[in-house]
Structure formats: C-alpha cells, structure tokens
Amino acid sequence: MKRLIRYAAMGASLGVLGLVLAGSLAGCGERRGSKDTAAAKATGRIGETEVVVVEEVVSCDGKNKIMIAKDVRGQARADARMDQWKRNNPDRHWVEEEKTAHNFKPPADNSDVLEGGQREGNVYGDFTETDLLIWARETEKMVAEGSRIFHSGDRLGSTVGVSCDMCHPHAANTHPETYPKFQTQLGRVVLLRDMINWCIENPVRGKKLEADSAEMRALEAYIMAQRKGTVMNYGKQ
C-alpha cells in the first residue's frame, strides 16, 4: 500500500499525464486505458491519497478496481497489483474451501504467455507471474461461485430443497460441449442456459434465472469448468 502511494505520488508530482476511463467498458481482468489512449486525464483515490490513474483492471465481480500509476514498472507493478488484489479480495478463503469440497478442475496453465521474458517492447511485456496468478484466481472465483449455487437448493430458489448435484454430481451429464443443439422437450435449438433453466423450473422447482444474471453466468462457468478437456461437439444429442 505504502509503496503504491509513493509511486503514485511521484507520478503526480512529475506531472505525468493521467489518462484512461476513455470510453469502452472493459471485461473483467481486462485493462482499461493504456499509454496510447493519452488524451483524457483522470484521477482516482487510494484511501486518502489522490493518484493519477493510468491503468485500471476491473475484477470479475465488477466491484474492485486496481489502480496503478504509469511509471510503476516491472516487479514493482506486479507487487502493487498483487497487493491491491489481495486487499480487494479479503474473502477469498471460501474459494479454497469450495475447491476442496467439490474438487473442481484448475484453469488452463498460461505460463507460455511469459515466454521470451518480460522485457519492454515484448507483446506480453507487461504481464508477469502475478498477472497469471490473478487471472487464475479470478477465474476460479467465478467457478467457485457457480459451484456454491449448483450445490445449494436455497441459492437456486428450490421450493423442494433440491440442488443440481443430486442428479448431476460434479456436473455429470450436463454436456455443455453439445450446445447449441435441438432440444426435443423445448422444440427448438437451445443454449446451455436454456437447459439450466429447464432444470431449475422442472426438477428443482424454482424460478427461471435471467439469462444474463450473475447466478446464471456462474452456473455456466462451473458447468463448463467441469468439462475441461472435453471436445466441443455442438448439436450432439
């Protein structure tokens, strides 16, 4: 924390042009703004301290922003991001617990992204092992949230105390890799989310989820994560 503020203050006192917040919405884990989007100035706050924001990384729940001053580079940047990420995620023990309880598969190994080193000018020059760790943890967090819902009649809004795992342990027989496909009981081509909703309304006896709700997105994430390594084969009955 202290380190970050010092760098940030240094950036400000040097009159470094802050930028960012230039328009487009970033997805989680993506960076908003870069050295190239100069024009707009923006400032942010870390605690009491005003900083010049040069990069924002939005976490997957959309709540937390990681702000780092422009002239923080290399390992210092990696450390600053990790510091902030940890502070933004004080509750991450439940992810480990969920992982242990339901034994879900780890996300892909992205270490090839770092090949060729982290030097300036490299396409991936800004990425470090810390980035890879953040990507993996944020991804696991979404999957873990899906796992919690999948295993909870309450979270699913079941009126008969039924959760998905009772019929689909570890998401067995959910076949996400076969979508889109023609589903006979619905009489049309559907996506995974439509069958999730079919099961919520029928065996689970709950209320359909909005297709874009946080719960539906997490359920999809969990189900797909469980089928890691399975070949995609849409249309398969």
For binding to ligand HEC (CB under 6 A), which residues are involved? 156, 162, 164, 166-168, 173-175, 178, 185, 192, 195-196, 199-200, 203-204, 219
Residue 107 near residue 225 (C-beta atoms within 8 A)? yes
Residue 103 vs 122, nearer CB to ligand HEC: 103
- Kindly state the smallest distance separating residue 164's Cβ from ligand HEC, in Å: 3
- Residue 84 CB contacts under 8 Å (≥ 6 apart), including other chains: 4, 66, 67, 68
For residue 131, the number of C-alpha atoms closer than 13 Å in the C-beta half-sphere is: 20
- In sequence order, the β-bridge partners of residue 43 are 52
* Complex with ligand HEC: residue 100 or 173, whichever CB lies closer: 173
- Which residue's CB is nearer to ligand HEC, number 84 or number 163? 163
The residue number with the shortest CB distance to ligand HEC is: 164
User: Residue 80: exposed, middle, or buried by beta-carbon count in 10 A (0-12, 13-18, 19+)?
Assistant: buried
Residue (54 or 192) nearer to ligand HEC, CB: 192
Sign of dihedral through CA atoms 24, 26, 30, 31?
positive
Question: Cβ of residue 219: shortest distance to ligand HEC, in angstroms?
Answer: 5
For the bound state, the minimum distance from the C-beta of residue 149 to ligand HEC, rounded and expressed in Å, comes to 8
Minimal distance, residue 167 CB to ligand HEC, in Å: 3
